[in-house]
Structure formats: C-alpha cells, structure tokens
Amino acid sequence: MLCLRSLMLLVLSLQFVTSSEDIGGRRRRIINGEDLRDWNSGYLVTNYFTWISNQHFCGTFDSFGSFFTNVKSIFVDYDNKGYWECSPHPQSEKCGGALVTPKIVQTACHCVGAAVGFLKKNGRERFKAHDPFADMVFVYHGSTSTDDMHRGYTSQLFIIHEKCSKKNGIVLYDYGIIALKTSVDSASPTNLAPVYSEKTLNRIWTDVNVKEPTCLFVGFGQFLSIDDWASPTVMQHTWKVFQNYRRCYSWMRPQSVGLNYTTDGTWSCFLHVYDTNSIVYKGDSGSPVTCNNEYFGLNSAIILDFKIPSHPKLRKDRKKITTQLVIVAPIIFTPFVNTAEQRRALIRQVNKRVKKHENARTLFREAESPP
C-alpha cells in the first residue's frame, strides 16, 4: 500500500530564508537550530510570531508555591479580561502562529481541531474545531523568549478551514484561526503579519516557485540539537529549501491518490539543508514560514524517511535518497485570511461567529439553570 507509515504531523521549529534574505545588509547568518534571540534581527517574522500553549496551561497554577502567591488571581474575572498574567511553561507549548489582526491568530488546522471520523463520500477524515473553553489555549505575542512572555491571551473561538480534512495521512487545508477574547496589547501594525493584496500573494507564490529560495523556519518546538524531549525557551530557527510545485507534485503522488491536486494539494515541499539538528518535533506546527522575509506559509508537517529520486544526471546510481520532507501550508490558499481585499469581511465574519457561539453558550447556561 501507500508508503505512509512514516508520515507524522509534527511541528518544525526552525526557520530559513532565501539567500537574499540578508535584510538590509545585515549578515546574521543562521545555522540550524540556533537561538534567534535578537528581537530586532530584521527577520520580520519575529514581530508577528505567536506562542500557543497547551490547553489550560498557565504558570499561575504550576505549583503550590505559585498558587498561593498568586491566590489573589482567583478573584480576577479572567473570562471578562481575556488574558491571564502568567508566564508560559516552555514544555507546554502546543503550536506557533501568526498574529494577523490584534484579535486573530492564524495557525494550523490541526492545532485547533481534530479528526472526527470519515466522510463516506470521499474517504476523507473530517476535522472539527476544538471547543474554545474546554480546550482553551493561551496565546503569547511580542517576544522571542518564553522568559519574557507574561500575558497569555485566551481563545474565544477556534475556526478551521471548512475543507480541512485528512486523506492518505496528510492534512489538507491545514489552516485555522484563533479568535481572541481581547486585543493583544503589543499589537501594532508592525507587529502583525503582513496583509497582502491578492496580486502580491500571487507574486510571492510565483517568485518562490521560480526561484526556489531557502526559507526561514522559526519556532519553539523540540529540537534535536538541544534535547530530544525538551522545548527551548528561546525562539529557534533554521533554513529549508523550497521545492517547486511540479517536483513536489511528483514526489507527493502517493499522498495525492483520490485527490484533485489542483484544488486539494494545499501544501508545499521543503528539504532541509543539513542532516543534523534540523529535525524538529512537536510544537512548531502553525508557525509562520518566511521566504525573502515575506510570509509564505505555515508549518504543517514533516514526513520522516521520505524517499525522493536521486538527481536524474546521476545515472549510475539511481537509488532513492531517504530524507525528511517538510510540508508547509502556503497562505496563497487562504486569501480570505491573508489579503487586504478580504480583511474587513474576515473581521466581520469572525465577529459574527463569535457572537453566534456566545449566544449558544448563553442558551446552554440558561437551559442548565432554569429560573
């Protein structure tokens, strides 16, 4: 059957940029998995990156000690405030994301939803968004070190792409958003993910396919270079090389069986630069990937032990090469979230859904406790 046993949805925590991404003459050469400590590095992604916690993880209740010192926090109406004053626990990172408006975070669908069973009609596993309260996450913004993160914004609603589903082990339309209860106070136009015109979004896509740049991956996921099972406290980054649409298509045939690749092949392929240190584990899904300092897509998955053909010119040794294949969900497939033309409609739509959800919650409460 299809050789998918090694396919895993993981987060990658490295970033990379194209060769021309030496911004403004800065030569901050990055090697795999190095700390990206400098918030003013010139890599714009550090401005809009968001750190997303596991559900219900807020430092306040980490231990008895902090519980008692923070006991006054019990009397604060967090639901109303929309954020908690607490530092994140590095090991409870769930995903990364990009702040697209002061109240909307873009991340991967599989970060804010889960597969809930097969659809008979096309054999895909349908995804359902998590419940924003039962599965609440905390979102931190504006820092490249967990030591400097002190305010966790709470999720109000999770929305996933309506075509988000799983087929042949891979997530299609791996796009989701988190609507926050309150605007992030560190949000300013320069601290938000870029909003592109449709034309620019197309230009970025074409450029990347023509030039096959080396792009920047950032995140806080587990790095082999640090410790197999510990997540870093400082943003990590690495570089990976984009593989053009045609090549990605030819490599991804087994994953594309039963799909219309034109409409449902919502991913891009990247190869890592070095063998060591660039494997990243859980925690980097949803993190923004930038090429030439432009927001290209978000980290979706890694396929370990993927086999690609060797270079056609190497006729003597046509054995396949086993490597990791990094799958990124390009934002060209989410113009509704990422283009200027749709921005007002997006905000309206999100507000509408939040309201609808709130009403449902109110009704639920009323039903629970009749007058």
Ligand X SMILES: *[C@@H]1O[C@H](CO)[C@@H](O)[C@H](O)[C@H]1NC(C)=O
- Contact present, 62 and 128 (Cβ < 8 Å): no
42 burial level (CB within 10 Å; 0-12, 13-18, 19+):
middle
Count of residues of this chain found to bind ligand X when the rule CB under 6 A is applied: 3
In the bound state with ligand X, the residue whose beta carbon lies nearer, of 80 and 262, is 262
- Residue of minimal Cβ distance to ligand X: 260
In the bound state with ligand X, the residue whose beta carbon lies nearer, of 260 and 369, is 260
Of 31, 97, 22, 36, the C-alpha closest to 239 is 31
Residue 205-244 contact track with ligand X, rule CB under 6 A, x = bound: ----------------------------------------
Residue 153-192 contact track with ligand X, rule CB under 6 A, x = bound: ----------------------------------------
In the bound state with ligand X, the residue whose beta carbon lies nearer, of 168 and 231, is 168
Coil/strand/helix, residue 203: helix
Minimal distance, residue 163 CB to ligand X, in Å = 13
Indicate whether 122 belongs to the interface with ligand X (CB under 6 A). Answer: no
In the bound state with ligand X, the residue whose beta carbon lies nearer, of 190 and 260, is 260
In the bound state with ligand X, the residue whose beta carbon lies nearer, of 40 and 262, is 262
In the bound state with ligand X, the residue whose beta carbon lies nearer, of 263 and 359, is 263
Residues 6+ apart with CB under 8 A from 338: 100, 106, 193, 195, 196, 201, 295, 331
Q: In b/e form, how buried is each residue of 189-216, taking b as 16+ CB within 10 angstroms?
A: eebbbbbbeeeebeebbebbbeebbbbb
**Subset of residues 246 to 275 that bind ligand X, contact rule: CB under 6 A:** 260, 262-263
Residue 306-345 contact track with ligand X, rule CB under 6 A, x = bound: ----------------------------------------
Q: What distances in angstroms separate CA 44 from CA 126, 164, 227, 261, one per listed residue?
A: 34, 28, 27, 32
Q: What distances in angstroms separate CA 244 from CA 160, 212, 249, 326, one per listed residue?
A: 27, 6, 9, 13
Minimal distance, residue 123 CB to ligand X, in Å = 16
Residues 6+ apart with CB under 8 A from 68: none
Minimal distance, residue 272 CB to ligand X, in Å = 31
Minimal distance, residue 113 CB to ligand X, in Å = 25
In the bound state with ligand X, the residue whose beta carbon lies nearer, of 261 and 336, is 261
6 burial level (CB within 10 Å; 0-12, 13-18, 19+):
middle
Binding residues for ligand X, per CB under 6 A?
260, 262-263
